[in-house]
Amino acid sequence: MTLGLLIVGMLVLLFLRVPVAFSMLLPCLLYVSFSPDITLGVALQRTMSGLDSFPLLAVPLFILTGYVSNAGGLADRLFRFLLCLLKRVPGSLGYVNVISSLLFSWMSGAAVADAAGLGSVLVPAMKKRGYDEGFSLGLTGASSLIGPMMPPSIPAIIYAVAAGVSVGGLFFASIVPALVLTAILCGSVAIYAARHPLPETEEVQGTRLASATYQAAPILLTPVIILGGILGGVTTPTEAAAVAAAYVIVLSGLFQSLSWKSLRESLQATTSTTGSIMLIVAAASLFGWIIAREQGPQAVTALLTSLTDNPYVFLLLVNIALLVVGMLLEPVAALLIMVPILMPAAREYGVDPMHLGVIMILNLVIGLLTPPVGLVLFVLSSVTGASVQRVIMGTLPFLLPLFATLMIVTYVPALSLWLPKLLLK
């Protein structure tokens, strides 16, 4: 009963548009005030303990990497390289859209950064070359979800901290599912190009392929630095994040494309974004502790095991639940709340924590394209000038390939598990 009131209180506050962190924190404070055996000091200790984590230090560093990459014009260089490389392929700008998101994801780790950085360039370019506006918006929104899947992924760091698993292992577990999503979106572009013949893409302001490759090559070393350092045992994921942030700052400086003003704005944006994420982490720590204290995970496990003993049915129920949660909460908050609830049940069904992590992240980032939260929808509307309703209508057809990817990742666990087992023996 107490647990139900706690969750209902949070949902009511969310529907009243109260920020996520305070929607979790206020019901928790009421719970603490009416509990005779819990002092405010204990509650404060539980709140702050969630922030006392070395892997969480990677979050602001990867956020800074993404902001500096945008401000320093590194995304534009990748865009020009791909445009020159694929200019004679039918539907070339569609492929450039998807693959740009794949390459940019090695630096950003967030769908919103991808949508903001690439959407302002790609959507107008696609419309100018004869692509339907809805298709351009939908493809840009769907491809931005590659960012939170492909390492360095901020949701992956949050899940790893909440679940107590290796950040590096989860990074490697996410690579193949992210590539599957990329391939399926490229298939959508191929179908569109076959149905809507489009002219070849023009040369990009006289830029030749050799020149574009030369300009993009140093940027393509970023994933080598991040994953190579982790795999080689040279750096932890947090140290790799610091190296990556320093690398893109130095690179942007050498390209003379990052002004002091842009760097200051990137640092300010990083501070603001990190502050909001860490406030959610702190509130979710107290919320999760209270849920555990009220034996919420045990109740969920008992409920699910009473419904089915089939792990495939369990995963289907998890997918349905997470898709609903993703419509109401952004991924970081949803992960912090749902991981402690679902992890005990997943162990009962023999689901690998790495596999569960990839499933949860993909489920919840799909929520970035669904109202009422749908942060990517609002970002695309802001940077392109299209109405939110137009963006929603454009993204609806792409939910089908996204759900197809989700089903493949869910029911073929080897896609998530074979690479970590191969590389982290």
> Which tens digits make up the pLDDT trace of 98-124?
998 888 887 777 787 778 777 878 888
Question: What is the structure's pLDDT at 288?
Answer: 80
R_g of the chain computed on alpha carbons: 22
Q: What is the mean pLDDT of the chain?
A: 85
pLDDT winner (highest mean) among 36-40, 100-104, 132-136: 132-136
Burial 36-66 (b: 16+ CB within 10 A, else e): eebeeeebeebbeebeebebbebbbbbbbbb
Question: What is the structure's pLDDT at 200?
Answer: 55
Question: What is the structure's pLDDT at 10?
Answer: 83
Question: What is the structure's pLDDT at 207?
Answer: 57
Q: Is 17 left (phi over 0), alpha (psi -120 to 50) or beta?
A: left
Residue 202 has pLDDT above 60, yes or no: no
Question: What is the structure's pLDDT at 137?
Answer: 92
Tens-digit pLDDT profile for residues 362-413? 999 998 898 777 888 888 888 888 888 899 999 999 999 999 999 999 999 9
Tens-digit pLDDT profile for residues 57-79? 888 888 888 888 878 778 778 87
| Type of residue numbered 17 | R
Question: What is the structure's pLDDT at 408?
Answer: 96
Question: What is the structure's pLDDT at 145?
Answer: 92
Question: What is the structure's pLDDT at 1?
Answer: 65
Residue 358 binned pLDDT confidence (cut-offs 50, 70, 90): very high
Residue 128 has pLDDT above 70, yes or no: yes
Question: What is the structure's pLDDT at 398?
Answer: 93
Q: Are 354 and 170 in contact (CB under 8 A)?
A: yes
Q: Give me the phi and psi of 159, to 5 degrees please.
A: -60, -45
Tens-digit pLDDT profile for residues 43-57? 888 888 778 777 788
Whole-angstrom CA distances from 192 to 136, 140, 144, 185 are 11, 14, 19, 11
Tens-digit pLDDT profile for residues 159-185? 998 888 888 889 999 999 999 999 999
pTM: 0.85
Tens-digit pLDDT profile for residues 86-100? 877 888 888 988 998
Question: What is the structure's pLDDT at 300?
Answer: 80
* For range 297-319, the mean pLDDT: 86
Question: What is the structure's pLDDT at 425?
Answer: 62
Residue 423 has pLDDT above 90, yes or no: no
Burial 158-174 (b: 16+ CB within 10 A, else e): bbbbbbebbbbbbbbbb
Question: What is the structure's pLDDT at 50?
Answer: 74
Of the chain, the percentage scoring pLDDT greater than 70 comes to 97
